[in-house]
Chain A
Amino acid sequence: MRARAASRGARVPGTIVMKVAGELDGVPVEDTFAEAFGMRATRLVITGETRAWARHAAVAATGFATSVIACGCEAGIERELSVRETPDGRPGISILIFAMSSKDLQKHLERRTGQCVLTCPTTAAFNGVPNEVAHEWLQLGGALRYFGDGWQISKLIGGKRYWRIPVMDGEFVCEEKAGLVKGIGGGNFLILAADGASARSAAERAVAAMRKVRNVILPFPGGVVRSGSKVGSKYKTLIASTNDAYCPTLVGLTRSALPEGAGAVLEIVIDGLDAGSIAKAMDVGIRAACRGGTGAGVVGITAGNYGGKLGPHHFHLKELFA
């Protein structure tokens, strides 16, 4: 069809040819890399009398935090914690919050804990970053205590300072400080599939596998992004816009990166506390996505980068075959 259009004299945008690094279950994996950048991150452990209440708070605290572009921070649930893993012996959820600067992280930690955890019945908030890895310290209870209007109580327990803030169901207990670590945001890979159903199915397999990896979150809804973006826009006010090279509805209009047979693309973005955890998450995610091979409708795997100009952390897909 393209040849026919060309013969009529239409502008042909051409295609980007995929250079293959290897195959997983017969699915070609492009020889490229995911480009990630440095962020500031913290881990919060939220506990409640029941897991349901802890989860309510964690879900609220990590809501509207998919991308720093418009949300100011990126946040997600890292994992559920058993009663043996939490400081107070109650069911817990650990969440990770990422921002572009320490100042931003402080602001969002305070807001999200104040509006989503302090408000939630029975919950308590604890620092989840071990002392030995904390790069600096953020104020947690130290900032929220003023809600107590002078009735707040400070308590030093086991060498850690806690704040007890009177609330209508008793007290909100909150550790004074939360550790900040230098994290990484923007690890990613793209699943190129024959159609939407195959793409979603592969993405769900990948997310299920990646959720088991510690120190990472997948900040987008269900862990998956359909609106992959490129830097810049024809509109001056936008710093990012749709990644037209991977939009199946723009094939023929733009320089497409979609291989033959690709009808839908989904991206998985990973933020992590360290490079090793992101690499591990990408590894298990890509392998899970490729399970079933091309018969499952997955026609290729690639990753998003900006030519190495955006971030110092590069996760090369060829490492999957190392």
Chain B
Amino acid sequence: MSALKFVLRHTPPSAVDVSGLRPALLAGKSRKEITKLPLTGWNEIHRVGDLFSIRGDDAQRVVVDGADERLLRIGAGMEGGELTVVGTAGDYLGESMRSGTIVVRGDVGTFVGAGMRGGRIDVSGNAGAFAGSGRAGTLQGMAGGAIVVRGNAGDRAGDRMRRGLLLIEGNAGDYCASRMLAGTAVVLGRVGIDAGYLMRRGTLILGRSPAELLPTFNHNGWHDLLAIRLLLESLTVHGKRFQSFARSRPSLSRWLGDLGCDGKGEILIALGRL
């Protein structure tokens, strides 16, 4: 059996919710049935066959080829299986997913992995704002699983994050880990202004020192903590850059805050000059 492949025929006229193209919903369906599945667009319903040509038959391995940023909610609600996206994915990729793997060979839009509870998302390119956060209005961001962004992430990465791993190899925008409730975010590159803004608990590890930190974070000292050693070691499965970062046993400067709220969060800065 070969992977079930959806090749985009043409750019849709407007945004389309393609969350229906996930393994659990496609399993057991014939290609003819899949062709007729509805995809909700902006004031119109598309049929899968209108937008995609279909190849292969293994619904546990789905490929969306030639993805466009108008394809929203790819893999949203996924509960297992593998989904590979080739191209630029739209917003809300992997929203509320519970398990399975999404691999994106390209960039993704905003709110990648919003509210996800399990599984893994690996983005080879860049991610938009609010990676690993929650939908607007929700009280919690991602609550499990792992998001790995090989490129850069936009502003508010990890906003209201509750649990899980948000790993960014490149840079992150402003307000990284804002309103973080718990969990772990790692940015190997630089972060924008006000990282950890209103962070209540959780861990933000920065590979490079930010220009400045919020005044509501207090310096806690330089510690070689066993829990952080364990945490860094656990990141080695997420690629060579995290592996080399962990194996370098970085000396970490620990800052506690945000004292503007609960104040039990920690920012650990490697090569810190603060």
- Chain A contacts to B: CB under 8 angstroms: 87-89, 124, 151, 153-158, 162, 164, 170-171, 173
Whether, in the assembled complex, B31 has its beta carbon less than 8 Å from a beta carbon of chain A, the answer is no
- The answer to whether B264 touches A157 (Cβ under 8 A) is no
- The answer to whether B226 touches A157 (Cβ under 8 A) is no
| Alpha-carbon distance between A151 and B234 when the two chains are bound, in angstroms | 24
- The answer to whether B226 touches A124 (Cβ under 8 A) is yes
Contacts of B227 in A (CB 8 A): 153, 155, 157, 162, 164, 171, 173
Contacts of B225 in A (CB 8 A): 164, 170-171
Interface of B is mostly: mixed
Pick the residue among B226, B234, B266 that contacts A173 (CB under 8 A): B226
Contacts of A153 in B (CB 8 A): 201, 227, 264, 266
| Alpha-carbon distance between A170 and B203 when the two chains are bound, in angstroms | 17
Q: Which of B101-142 contact A (CB under 8 A)?
A: none
Contacts of A162 in B (CB 8 A): 227, 230
Residue interface mask B220-232, A partner, CB < 8 A = 1: 0001011101110
- The answer to whether A88 touches B229 (Cβ under 8 A) is yes
Pick the residue among A87, A151, A154, A170 that contacts B230 (CB under 8 A): A87
Contacts of B201 in A (CB 8 A): 153
| Alpha-carbon distance between A155 and B230 when the two chains are bound, in angstroms | 10
Tally of chain B residues near chain A (CB < 8 A): 18
Whether, in the assembled complex, B163 has its beta carbon less than 8 Å from a beta carbon of chain A, the answer is yes
Q: Which of B199-236 contact A (CB under 8 A)?
A: 201, 203, 223, 225-227, 229-231, 233-234
Q: Which residue of chain B has its CB nearest to the CB of A151?
A: B264
Given A170-B225, A171-B225, A171-B226, verify A157-B182 contact (CB < 8 Å): no
| Alpha-carbon distance between A155 and B202 when the two chains are bound, in angstroms | 8
Nearest Cβ on chain A to B111's Cβ, whole angstroms:
22
Apart from A88-B230, A153-B201: 13 A-B pairs, beta carbons within 8 A = A87-B230, A89-B233, A124-B226, A151-B264, A155-B184, A155-B203, A155-B227, A156-B163, A157-B234, A170-B223, A170-B226, A173-B226, A173-B230
Nearest Cβ on chain A to B88's Cβ, whole angstroms:
32
Contacts of A89 in B (CB 8 A): 229, 233
Contacts of A164 in B (CB 8 A): 225, 227
Residue interface mask B164-195, A partner, CB < 8 A = 1: 10000000000000000011100000000000
| Alpha-carbon distance between A157 and B232 when the two chains are bound, in angstroms | 9
* Most A C-beta atoms less than 10 A away, residue of B201, B225, B226, B234: B226
* Most B C-beta atoms less than 10 A away, residue of A157, A158, A170, A171: A157
**Which 5 interchain pairs have the tightest Cβ spacing?**
A158-B234, A164-B227, A173-B226, A173-B227, A157-B234
| Alpha-carbon distance between A153 and B225 when the two chains are bound, in angstroms | 13
Q: Which residue of chain A has its CB nearest to the CB of B233?
A: A89
